Structure 1
């Protein structure tokens, strides 16, 4: 094995024998900041990860609805009130219906509060979901199903893991936002010059780390929501400057901590988590990782009305010293005279004012509670001003970060989980030469 070059096959042999050196992106970049100059021979794999809102999420489900010959065709179907898209021009005499669920589809029963993302997490958690189907014969079939009963359940995420998105605020009092102050990037209307919303896990993001397009190929094995998955190709809206991925994976072994619905002021959204291994095959891959630090990744601040960049910062402004979790002080929880604002605006429904608690398995540390709690019961862990998740200095003032759509805590957990699997020899690297293609640029 050459000093400055390794093959995927050689690294896999080291993984099988337990001799591979595997580091998470956090561990690797910590050493880089300390001044360590890595050689290709020093490390074999670096694991990256991200978790956040990923709108382009769907699932194909094969649902055993009724006995063979019970009906000829399904016309409409809802799962927990979430509408499904059914296969067309197919006779379903077998009683099995193929249906697509979009992560951003809203439930007819809980408009704006429950959607496809919530449904997919409920299925992965093993919960029963209510099914209603209208057949071509005019009958209505009502039953309940679980993930274990399905014949097929696979996530197809066609626009995930964006590279270097944008931070947003209400800076121009733009007409479009003034007339309709809703956005997928906020949980409530953003006051003029008084709040910033951000997306992206920065230096942990797999796409950010593959600056030379050396690692990620069509066919690359990944973890999607903690379960084995694969990169299909570039995602929709992907460009060389702002790439994203199309990925797929079976739902059977997914971990719900990386999944869920996510409510914004515009409507329901969906979250996912990805972890992608970087085999250190040559100097170029190594340098790409070493040079990808929060302080080197540019981030444009844009207005919510027109989404045009107007001020440049870096991801270090967002994540350096930032709290990765939210603390809850029950003693500061006051008796609101109306519905608890922190509970109402929590995009993951992780807060219960009645029970005086926050469900950390759901919490994504977005910070909505910190800026909406009247009693100041919620606070980012660490030395952070109350009412926000940090501040960014821009436009000659300190602007509070009031909403984050990326969960860096579970981004780190995803990378750590992948490292553990690889050290056990339970996850080996794939080797593909199928380049990711861009369409009609």
Structure 2
């Protein structure tokens, strides 16, 4: 059942102010910077706070449907690839039709470049309008090859079942004696080789609504810049560590927020989401005000078992360290063997052959700063205090800069009256194992 939030404002009242251009809409970052400068906020001072998160969100898949003549096989006997990435026919059967329905996993790897290209790369290139090469094989039939673009699709929708964890954990190989393969490294994580951090800190949507008071079933959001909705709790979600399931049409998404992300254990998929937090009462405002980098716990775990043994805060990750990587091509020493920074860049933002760094792709993870022999890539990534000693951050899997940018995007749309709040739906419930 839908549960009302009793307070001094209603969603309908805020929407009316949004329509008139009178609503006060701030990003989470803006509001908290004001708090740091000494400002005290009351419920009447702000109507909506926009939040954002960007990073690998592995529970993402795309359901696609497009006309394709020349085949009329049974979905159960077909094998389909898109740019070499496996696409699974269905879930609806298409036998006897000239339309093909497929599902593509964001973490599926290309059969041609399994360590360099996957579903996340495919999704970005689809949204960019690039040509996509489709291959279909079926027993007893000649292979079919076609080239399509997103303009050929009559249905293209992202379904993501695990997004925007209420921040996460920092990982390092503290106790090991050998490198360990892990999704939290750009290469096997060696003993005492630095620490990986995950989580957007104070911009994270669920961190700003920790009790899920206003983030509910049907909450209207942005997914990679396009309108989407929350459909419930995500997989592995719990009251202590919630995350969200989302859905959004791919048409209208901004490829800047999308892409593939290569880890030591395989390919991942990048997403960015923005969620509005309507300030309806004191409890909602308090949840936002208390979610500051300085107060948000960051558990620290050994990557071997992922069990936290100490903690710090996100202030060591995001208060002071750089949000972007600087590149000076004059310092490139043109390594004769290969560019190590290019090899380990998780998003393919470095092109060694022409000394180019693509900021539109760059996540500012910091891997290049660790691997560049000549020091052409630099960024202050910070250090974490772990049991009284400083451990350098060497890899960031969250993109704070674009988390803030998509929160800015949502704020601007709301200020222009182009994006309104949805009615408060039912509370999100966590279905735990058991009778």
Pick the TM interval, shorter chain: over 0.9
Q: Name the SS of the counterpart of 1:94 in structure 2.
A: coil
Residue 305 (structure 2) aligns with: 306
* Shift of residue 194, structure 1, vs aligned partner: 2.8
> Are the counterparts in 1 of residues 136 and 144 from structure 2 also a CA contact under 8 Å?
yes
The residue correspondences of 1:168-317 to structure 2 (distance < 5 A) are: 168-173=171-176, 178=178, 181-317=180-316
> Are the counterparts in 1 of residues 92 and 101 from structure 2 also a CA contact under 8 Å?
no
Could you report, residue by residue, the CA deviation over 1:271-309 in whole angstroms, capped at 9, with x for unpaired residues?
100000011111111111001111111111111111111
> Are the counterparts in 1 of residues 56 and 261 from structure 2 also a CA contact under 8 Å?
yes
Residue 427 (structure 1) aligns with: 419
Determine which of 5, 25, 48 is the counterpart of 1:45: 48
**C-alpha distance in 2 between matches for 1:361 and 1:92:** 41
**C-alpha distance in 1 between matches for 2:411 and 2:420:** 11
> Are the counterparts in 2 of residues 4 and 39 from structure 1 also a CA contact under 8 Å?
no
Determine which of 422, 430, 433 is the counterpart of 1:438: 430
Aligned residues: 426
Determine which of 15, 20, 26 is the counterpart of 2:18: 15
> Are the counterparts in 1 of residues 224 and 273 from structure 2 also a CA contact under 8 Å?
yes
Aligned CA distance change for structure 1 residues 156 and 89 (closer, same or farther; 3 Å): closer
Q: Does 1:158 align with 2:157?
A: no
**C-alpha distance in 1 between matches for 2:382 and 2:43:** 37
Q: Does 1:400 align with 2:388?
A: no
Q: Does 1:73 align with 2:74?
A: yes
> Are the counterparts in 2 of residues 4 and 41 from structure 1 also a CA contact under 8 Å?
no
The residue correspondences of 1:40-189 to structure 2 (distance < 5 A) are: 40-66=43-69, 70-74=71-75, 75-87=78-90, 90-135=93-138, 138-173=141-176, 178=178, 181-189=180-188
Between stretches 17-26 and 391-400, larger displacement belongs to: 391-400
Aligned CA distance change for structure 1 residues 375 and 235 (closer, same or farther; 3 Å): same
**C-alpha distance in 2 between matches for 1:412 and 1:272:** 13
* Shift of residue 191, structure 1, vs aligned partner: 2.9
**C-alpha distance in 2 between matches for 1:393 and 1:322:** 14
Could you report, residue by residue, the CA deviation over 1:1-39 in whole angstroms, capped at 9, with x for unpaired residues?
xx9610000000000001111101111011112221111
> Are the counterparts in 2 of residues 57 and 159 from structure 1 also a CA contact under 8 Å?
yes
**C-alpha distance in 2 between matches for 1:26 and 1:396:** 29
Q: Does 1:350 align with 2:349?
A: yes
> Are the counterparts in 2 of residues 342 and 369 from structure 1 also a CA contact under 8 Å?
yes
Q: Name the SS of the counterpart of 2:294 in structure 1.
A: helix
* Shift of residue 250, structure 1, vs aligned partner: 0.0
Structure 1 alignment gaps of length 5 or more: none
* Shift of residue 71, structure 1, vs aligned partner: 1.8
Could you report, residue by residue, the CA deviation over 1:369-404 in whole angstroms, capped at 9, with x for unpaired residues?
000101111011xxx3xxxx1212223332111111
Structure 1 runs of 4+ with >4 Å offset: none
> Are the counterparts in 1 of residues 328 and 377 from structure 2 also a CA contact under 8 Å?
yes
Residue 417 (structure 1) aligns with: 409
Between stretches 36-45 and 258-267, larger displacement belongs to: 36-45
Residue 3 (structure 2) aligns with: none
* Shift of residue 314, structure 1, vs aligned partner: 0.8
* Shift of residue 88, structure 1, vs aligned partner: 5.8
> Are the counterparts in 1 of residues 94 and 100 from structure 2 also a CA contact under 8 Å?
no
Q: Name the SS of the counterpart of 1:393 in structure 2.
A: strand
Q: Name the SS of the counterpart of 2:141 in structure 1.
A: coil
